[in-house]
Structure 1
């Protein structure tokens, strides 16, 4: 696999994105002026005009006065006054108000509806012009745990071995339990060259993993191109790492270049793409989807739907496949679902993340912001993929060693040990061409012989025990194999099905 730098469209250090992550700003669902929609779409396209932040000062003041007169708001005001005037210690009035806002959002039990105070917003608005500094991973809040949606390819997070669905439980030894997503992210992000230690829980692994990551610059490029030959035919590959403000423009330029060069087939790769602006995925889809089916549907709280259409009349005259995996979320899922349901194209890889809601960032007028879930998005056929994901039409898993974990060795692993760490090492050895005899976690004589052979080839003392140095060399070898595009089964299959 050719690992390229991946990045987010906007926002900051941890690649806290609009797409799958609760930390992103949410899918932009506004229709472009030339797009045909059904009757209700105009109301949705201009939904932000009804936001508190869009009102004038006089309109805001009147609205607040009207609200203060309501029974519900009087109760809140009464509670505020009782606490402020009578609590045993002095209280911070601003903290009381912000706590009330946070409390209201907490009752929604929606990880994508969050509040960011002025200070948090200022920190998140830093360093977003051409790059940001951090570890390079998309995160979300899942079951009250900070969860990796996808590490950015080529980022420190990917280099260190973070994977989709890893749950971060400690940052530099401090628990993040009870913190909201943004508070946790601010602990993880940091300046280039500094190190952060994450303790993560990984599905299928009984003990937490400790992963050290050196922060770096994460560039904000989102589109990468490549060309391949399949049975003598020219195939273009366009990898989209996220959907930002310039992604559709970059994609169109890449597509036009490939078409001028005589491309006879195309693979669109959105693996590990956590999402982004719907305006951009919409423009990309208009290149491929005719106007007889919607690109996407948006449903409001009343169940009323708006449908968005392309203005394209015909499909491309060459085949297309889409590559996706468990790190493909939100806008990436819109692309995948639409390419299949409305375009009839194959989806290759593994099931996607499953985020089917739409958020709007609503400024509060004082520098703080509420990001609130306003809509569901539905596929062209009306399916809601939230917490379900999208199944590929051609399922392909990567080799087992793609899914191995960092080797953590407190004491050397040796013959007759029987645990998950040994099982992990056995998968690594097998992936590197050594025969451990078994891969069930029992450190057998065959496993010892495989370790000795690996150590000899790596220039280490052939003890047959897996210590820290041996574990590090195993990890280096696996990273090299993962980066070798000859081992990318999913890409090979995507190319294979193009002309079938």
Structure 2
């Protein structure tokens, strides 16, 4: 079966993409009789010897539909029942497959355009609860401090218990300018958190960049239709800003839940001069494919660091895995999410679409990261109490299995820069609290910049970023105590912690 569909690699849809199924009564004959008289049923009946179990189960399905229509406490439309049954059939396969009715599919297409109303947070259903996959850069959710793994339990004081994901998302949506208060349960927080924010029209800016001395920084928040074009333009701008003397690059894929396969391939191609980028293998051999680099490296072999964390998933992991396998970049951070599957978006004419897992993908070394994730080359935690675990693919129910065997292990690297052994795995106790508006407080970014500077033979600095004065950072914390800023060459720096999970593993 040849699939002619878009290939997706995201962990979840944007909040607001899906809404509840439309309620529309459809009068008609017994659905049990309709099934037994359908063309599909007749085809099965004609070959009953080979399809007896299928025929029996279809009959059971029709019988249950008739029972619910007749006996449920309130009238339910046939369309609602069928939509729910279809969704259950597909979503029960794995966490990333789903059925979208026509209305849901249209809303998804609108929001993929990159402009929509809401909070700017990607959510996913997990065991009946609404879990945050990732806030989107520059949105109310990001500015308010929502984090991957947060569970949203209430909206404006009203519980979401018993609601579908569609219903919960609908409650979070509203007119731009209106306020909303979410109740959040967060790991290691003793009490639920109340977070108030203002809804707005969300413009998704998937790429942003900064120049820190001679080192470029590019942040990719997701992979949409124009990600590679925007990333390439950002790099050209950084190079021009550096007077053509850019010394290295930090590529930030943290909290990037994925997106389109072709964009992950195109971004990887911009940094890998030759060889395989990724391959996918599915049930049907004719759909198996391999993509190779086309001999272009827009940086002309500059040193690269890629930042990853537990929110780096799918398309992000393809890019990180390709650059790691080719020894083209050093990965800094904590283990990635571990989504090694590919979804196809298959339209059902006049009736929405099916988002179906159709393949696993493999990095250039032949490893599958499904349920395992990608281990960084240098472990750097966001905070001292960050265990680097969080929610990942392996925590979701009924995930597809990893069939990579020993090939799922990360290749051993012997080419890391000497500074790797002096990079601390966690910030010191008095490191300032992370503030998204103050890059100097981003410990993982600071260490990534240190690594790039060392690889580029640039002189070390206290910390590479142009940062606010230490007393200004400290005053924001309500104290005059200055944070400890230790030069890279300080002898007290300890090697990064290594754990059993530092092999290939949200």
TM-score category by the smaller chain? 0.5 to 0.7
Deviates more, 1:278-287 or 1:335-344: 335-344
The 5-angstrom pairing of residues 417-456 of structure 1 reads: none
The 1-side partners of 2:441 and 2:76 are apart by: 60
Where structure 1 has 5 or more consecutive residues not aligned to the other structure, the ranges are 1-16, 27-63, 404-426, 433-477
Inter-CA distance 494–358: structure 2 relative to 1 (3 Å threshold): same
Q: Indicate the residue corresponding to 1:275 in structure 2.
A: 258
Q: Indicate the residue corresponding to 2:228 in structure 1.
A: 248
Contact 1:288 1:312 in 2 (8 A): no
String of CA shifts for 1:305-327, please: whole Å, max 9, x gaps. 53221222678321111112222
Q: Indicate the residue corresponding to 2:101 in structure 1.
A: 117
The 1-side partners of 2:385 and 2:144 are apart by: 15
The 1-side partners of 2:40 and 2:12 are apart by: 35
The 1-side partners of 2:42 and 2:84 are apart by: 18
Contact 2:149 2:186 in 1 (8 A): yes
Q: Indicate the residue corresponding to 1:491 in structure 2.
A: 445
The 2-side partners of 1:243 and 1:284 are apart by: 9
Contact 1:23 1:112 in 2 (8 A): no
Instruction: Compute the TM-score of the two structures, normalised by the length of structure 2.
Output: 0.65
Note if 1:296 corresponds to 2:278: yes
C-alpha displacement of 1:223:
1.5
Instruction: State how many pairs are aligned.
Output: 372
Instruction: Compute the TM-score of the two structures, normalised by the length of structure 1.
Output: 0.66
The 2-side partners of 1:257 and 1:91 are apart by: 57
The 5-angstrom pairing of residues 335-484 of structure 1 reads: 335-400=319-384, 481-484=435-438
Q: Indicate the residue corresponding to 2:184 in structure 1.
A: 200
- Give the 3-state SS of the residue equivalent to 1:162 in structure 2: coil
The 5-angstrom pairing of residues 172-211 of structure 1 reads: 172-211=156-195
Inter-CA distance 195–69: structure 2 relative to 1 (3 Å threshold): farther
Contact 1:298 1:306 in 2 (8 A): yes
- Give the 3-state SS of the residue equivalent to 1:169 in structure 2: strand
The 2-side partners of 1:251 and 1:487 are apart by: 24
Q: 1:318 aligns with which of 302, 306, 317?
A: 302
C-alpha displacement of 1:204:
1.8
String of CA shifts for 1:19-44, please: whole Å, max 9, x gaps. 22256999xxxxxxxxxxxxxxxxxx
What value does the CA root-mean-square deviation take over the aligned residues?
3.3
Q: Relative contact order (C-alpha < 8 Å, sep 6+): which is higher?
A: 1
Q: 2:11 aligns with which of 15, 20, 23?
A: 20
Q: Indicate the residue corresponding to 1:235 in structure 2.
A: 215
Q: Indicate the residue corresponding to 2:475 in structure 1.
A: none
Inter-CA distance 285–128: structure 2 relative to 1 (3 Å threshold): closer
Deviates more, 1:237-246 or 1:137-146: 137-146
The 2-side partners of 1:155 and 1:117 are apart by: 28
C-alpha displacement of 1:205:
2.3
Inter-CA distance 68–192: structure 2 relative to 1 (3 Å threshold): farther
